[in-house]
Chains A and B, each alone.
Chain A
Amino acid sequence: MWLSNSSIGRKVVMSVTGLALILFLTFHMAMNLVAIFSADAYNMICEFLGANWYALVATAGLGALVVIHIIYAFWLTMQNRAARGSERYAVSAKPKGVEWASQNMLVLGIIVLLGLALHLFNFWAKMQLPEVLHMLGMHVDTANVTNGVYHIQNTFSCPVYSILYLVWLAALWFHLTHGFWSALHTLGWNNKIWFERWRMIGNIYSTIVVLGFAVVVLYYWLCGGSCC
């Protein structure tokens, strides 16, 4: 299968899963913004995307994307280290035009992964998970499972969580500024003219997505979600 036994094929898998995750982030960010404007509307979304069959299928699909992306990330990195050989240069200089993010995608990805674990603990474990457990007949408290705003307030009133979330978002920003154009380049949709355009579009897009998330964190941290 060329998606696993050729280098370009493996990169295509990284690229497609990465792009799908970017698309997911876009929707996720847009829904989060609702929490700034109306708590009720946000909770309605939470109810709508609770433990319905379509939300569960989407969650499973999303989980699969993340797992594939991560497995390939480690696999590619291991192969690349082997290809690099055991001897390292005594002197090495960063050539100009090389983005820092591009050479540290795994480290950035691992930070994103740790943030994701925290995020699942803060939200998913208190919202969709108990609902599913409840449906399976277990005795769990389901009073707040669709009260997203309650969990947002709970999490971001704690400055440690807010700061961790902002660090997480910063790592995501670096990952995406390289990942965006790199993914399109991997698929072959690039040339000398589009190179700078994709990079610019990628930078703007990543900034909008990351800022969208950050605004919600800052809003609930700094004014408890009750100003204006």
Chain B
Amino acid sequence: MDKNISFTLKVWRQRGPKEKGHFQTIPVKDMPGDTSFLEMLDIVNEELINKGEEPIVFDHDCREGICGMCSLYINGHPHGPATGATTCQIYIRRFNDGDVVTVEPWRSAGFPVIRDLMVDRGAYDKIMQAGGYVSVNTGGIPDANAIPIPKPVADEAMDAAACIGCGACVAACKNGSAMLFVSAKVSQLALLPQGKVEAARRAKAMLAKMDELGFGNCTNTRACEAECPKCISISNIARLNREFISAKLKD
């Protein structure tokens, strides 16, 4: 059995995008160690509601690390202290009695705060719409084995495809750059024969959209890679650079 932990929650409250935010301090008593971080917030919210106060707004959906909705900046780390895990996969046992646990929203111009801990990550959807797909004519589904793909290539593409689009890379980046996300989305397709066909157009369109939406210039600090819950490698960024530069040189 995990033991119970008491700590102080310091959480960002902001009523709207234009409103000025502030930290609210909430003492949390005897929280069982096997409570997940989001369950803890549910419990705190229930108490707030019972007291007639506004609950803390935060994003979440699958609560099993696959949807990319949860997005909390806990004690200086996007998705909290663990490596290779999302916020919803963090448990209270990671914290100690008497800790101050500071929870902030992603802070980046590309992801404006909607309310409290919830930010608008619509920019990522716009980048995907700009080219993060393979155009196919409808018709019969091709046989999966019709196009042989070497295992190492398939693995590399699969690793890139693990990106859940959570935005932790932007949240961690001192340059507010979305390069890790864009490079993962470009790589997962560019590596495979089906995606290669449109690779040049895709790299140019997605990067142009990323720049247009005001994300920063990557200076290779590697903060994104260290904080990414899916351990996406910056070697994908090198691939995106390569794809983009050779596309531009060909023009």
> Which residue numbers of A lie inside 8 Å of B, CB to CB?
2, 5-12, 76, 79-80, 82-93, 95-99, 102-103, 105, 178, 181-182, 185-192, 195
The number of chain B residues with a CB under 8 A from chain A is: 52
In the complex, the answer to whether A84 meets B241 with C-beta atoms within 8 Å is no
Per the bound structure, the CA–CA distance linking A5 and B244 in Å amounts to 13
**Interface residue B110 (Cβ < 8 Å from any Cβ of A):** yes
B241 touches A187 (CB 8 A): yes
Question: Is B127 among interface residues, defined by CB-CB distance under 8 A?
Answer: no
Out of A8, A185, A190, A191, name the residue touching B244 (CB < 8 Å): A8
Question: Beyond A84-B173, A85-B109, A97-B226: 4 further Cβ-contacts under 8 Å?
Answer: A83-B214, A91-B76, A93-B75, A98-B223
Q: Which of B39-47, B61-69, B143-151, B229-237 contacts A (4 or more CB under 8 A)?
A: B229-237
SS of A interface (majority): helix
What is the predominant secondary structure among interface residues of chain B facing chain A?
mixed
A104 to B73, CA, bound (A): 23
A188/B239 in contact, CB under 8 A: yes
Which chain A positions have C-beta within 8 A of B172?
95
Q: Which of A5, A10, A95, A191 contacts B77 (CB 8 A)?
A: A95
| CB-based contact B241/A83 at 8 Å | no
Stretch touching chain A among B26-34, B84-92, B128-136, B174-182: B174-182
Using Cβ atoms and an 8 Å threshold, which residues of chain A touch B217?
Answer: 7, 10-11, 76, 79-80
| Chain B residues with CB under 8 A of A84 | 107-109, 173-176, 216
B222 at the interface (CB under 8 A from A): yes
Interface hits, B173-230 → A, CB 8 Å: 173-177, 179, 207-208, 210-211, 214-223, 225-227
20 A-B residue pairs with CB within 8 Å: A7-B217, A10-B217, A12-B245, A83-B215, A84-B176, A95-B222, A95-B227, A97-B225, A98-B221, A98-B222, A102-B219, A102-B220, A103-B223, A178-B220, A185-B234, A187-B241, A187-B245, A188-B239, A190-B235, A191-B238
